[in-house]
Amino acid sequence: MNDPRITPPLPPDFDAVIVGAGFAGLYMLHKLREAGFTAHVFEAGDGVGGTWYWNRYPGARCDIESVDYSYSFSPELEQEWQWTERYPRQPEILAYLNHVADRFDLRRDIDLNTRVTAAHFDEHAGLWRIETDRGQPVTARHCVMATGCLSVPKAPELPGIERFAGATYLTAAWPKDGVDFTGLRVGVIGTGSTAIQVIPQVARQAKHLTVFQRTANFSVPARNGPLPAAEQQRIKAGYPDRRALSRQSLFGIPVAVPEAPRRTRDIPPAELNQTLETLWAQGGAMSLLAAAPDVLVDPEANARVAEFVRRKIRATVKDPDLAERLCPSTHPLGTKRLCLDTEYYETFNRDNVTLVDLRATPIETLTEHGLRTREAEYRLDALIFATGFDAMTGALLAMDIRGRNGRSLREAWADGPHTYLGLASAGFPNLFLITGPQSPSVFTNMVMSIEQHVDWIADCLAYLRARGIRCIEASAPAQAQWEAHVAAVADATLMPQADSWYVGANVPGKPRVFMAYLGGLGPYRQRCDEVAAQGYAGFELTPAAATV
Ligand code: NA7
């Protein structure tokens, strides 16, 4: 056994290990390599793509426009890639990410089919030991978690599931070869963003579709369509300005932060209605929120916009009782993810679609032939779970991450996530989180937020290298201050009111904490840049010679 007091630590295998090969992991690898670091990626899937690798369900599509939901780090990539539709379909995003992996020669540093099971910080050596479900452990000075905010699916624990003779599908683990529902009686559990995309597609194929709804959701039409070449060319010509605007915006999309926004409640009803009609006709969920930012703050403003959407639902769905059941009533608009759809409400006008309101008639059990609620049994050949994710913390806590003194992240976060800027956590030196909890992440265009974090982390590592600093760690007081700020901003909004995955309400036993930073991407970026400019204020830096 080596005596740690006399044995000099061996150099690590890599400067950084990156966990995950989605948008975040791919760019992190590229960026670190460009900066002259050695980096290696472990990815559980058998291909790159992360979210867009796993979520292959029918209708899977991004709810941010393709020209914005794409990397901005390479002007050449921006110009050469051609998007075909306003909102990109999953296969197109996956093809894009595969193109990125090839174009920047990333694959040689990625181990696919390899799930990271543990990461332990060795205080003596000042490095991370990373274990996977394949092969030998590796060591790295830094560990970067690019594990995604919505990457651990949450299937419901339904009684009788083992008895059900039909097929079951989880939207986030969809078969690669697709599924043919022709002639089948299909059920969908859930009416979140995913279900709202799946339902119109499956309804067209299945003999009958039964939608099991627990909470009616607000959805805005996407108005998706082909992206004409001339329009794409025009956007690409203006990319530098468009990206600059997105970086400074609240949501990471090219909509300016209004300088002196009018309160929605002060806008005369006819004028507000006209604005909302215009936005409704244009389509887009984020732009609706961006156009009236106080909708998430002021209950009266929210009620007015929410009622506008309910009127649209009533105007679309022919059966008035059914329309009423589809009208959200349990939460303010936007406090659960505002969905984007293509013919979602219209689908309920089809003869082969039934809505079951689980609040009125809860699920009792699955049976051999279907699903029984308190009032009826629905015969099903197949059942689709579009039931969401253990969001924001799920993927991080699935690994055995241990920092100083062997303390596990699960223990440290038992009462909810604790981070400084959503980038690091006290007690876990040299561990970085890309779009971690308490950063803007899911409340923005993820690609913009990912790029901001990757750039910040790479700059940070270069700073440490230039100064011979071996360890960086969030300080507990800075972390506490940041958390108080994140909570104060959330509490000033309506967001914590809903039982959403933003607060962990969809996972039994999960601490109820609002997990994203709502201050907007632009102001957040500024804060991160100031922290860096001040020599990483709020972090403790340990030089190589010192004991870690
Ligand atoms: P969501 O938004 O969490 O939606 C999950 C849906 O599943 C939602 O309607 C839930 O109802 C429903 N659900 C979950 N568990 C159950 C059980 N046990 N019984 C009945 N219904 C249930 O996940 P999505 O995948 O749609 O979207 C996640 C994000 O991905 C989305 O916001 C985008 O950012 C992309 P509930 O509302 O909890 O009553």
**DSSP secondary structure letters along 194-231:** HHHHHHHHHHHHBSEEEEEESS---EEE----B--HHH
Q: Regarding beta strands 400-402 and 39-42, do their DSSP bridges make them parallel or antiparallel, or are they unpaired?
A: unpaired
Two tokens, residue 220: 């805005």
The H-or-E segment that residue 277 falls in is helix 269-282
Residue 9 in any domain: the answer is no
**What's the pLDDT score for residue 547?**
52
Q: How far apart are CA 428 and CA 430, in angstroms?
A: 7
Q: How far apart are CA 527 and CA 116, in angstroms?
A: 31
Whether 210 contacts 185, CB under 8 Å? yes
Kindly list the averaged pLDDT for each block of 10 residues, start to end, along the chain of length 548.
54 97 98 98 98 98 96 98 97 98 98 98 96 96 98 93 96 96 98 98 98 97 95 97 96 84 88 91 79 86 94 98 98 95 98 97 97 97 98 98 98 98 98 98 97 98 97 98 98 96 96 97 98 98 74
What 3-state class would DSSP assign to 145? strand
**What's the pLDDT score for residue 284?**
84
Contacts of 294 (CB under 8 A, 6+ apart): 261, 263, 264, 265, 301
For 49, 85, 182, the CA distances from 107, given in Å and listed in that order, are 12, 28, 38
Helices (H), 384-466: 394-398, 409-412, 446-466
Specify the pTM: 0.96
Which of 337, 392, 512, 515 for a ligand 1 pocket mutation test, highest count of atoms within 8 Å of Cβ? Answer: 337
Domain of residue 474, CATH code: 3.50.50.60
Q: How far apart are CA 431 and CA 524, in angstroms?
A: 20
List the domain range (segments joined by +) for residue 475.
Answer: 14-152+391-543
Residue 36 in any domain: the answer is yes
**What's the pLDDT score for residue 5?**
47
Residue 8 in any domain: the answer is no
Which of 387, 442, 500 for a ligand 1 pocket mutation test, highest count of atoms within 8 Å of Cβ? Answer: 387
Residue 6 in any domain: the answer is no
Ligand 1 centroid, distance to 150 Cα (angstroms): 11
- Number of domains into which the chain is organized: 2
Ligand 1 nearest atom to the CA of residue 194, by list position = 26
Two tokens, residue 333: 């608009």
CA-only gyration radius of the chain, Å:
24
| End residue of a domain, out of 385, 403, 437 | 385
Residue 498 in any domain: the answer is yes
**What's the pLDDT score for residue 248?**
95
Ligand 1 centroid, distance to 386 Cα (angstroms): 6
| End residue of a domain, out of 334, 362, 385 | 385
Which of 152, 158, 193 for a ligand 1 pocket mutation test, highest count of atoms within 8 Å of Cβ? Answer: 193
Whether 142 contacts 469, CB under 8 Å? no
Same-domain status, 143 and 187? no
Same-domain status, 188 and 255? yes
Q: How far apart are CA 101 and CA 123, in angstroms?
A: 34
Same-domain status, 381 and 395? no
What 3-state class would DSSP assign to 353? strand
| End residue of a domain, out of 363, 385, 407 | 385
**What's the pLDDT score for residue 545?**
65
β-bridge partners, 129: 120, 139
Ligand 1 centroid, distance to 324 Cα (angstroms): 20
Category of 192 on φ-ψ map: left (φ > 0), alpha (ψ -120 to 50) or beta: beta
Same-domain status, 323 and 281? yes
What 3-state class would DSSP assign to 548? coil
Same-domain status, 356 and 284? yes
Residue 292 in any domain: the answer is yes
Same-domain status, 43 and 165? no
Residue 7 in any domain: the answer is no
Q: How far apart are CA 1 and CA 468, in angstroms?
A: 29
Same-domain status, 453 and 420? yes
Residue 5 in any domain: the answer is no
Same-domain status, 368 and 395? no
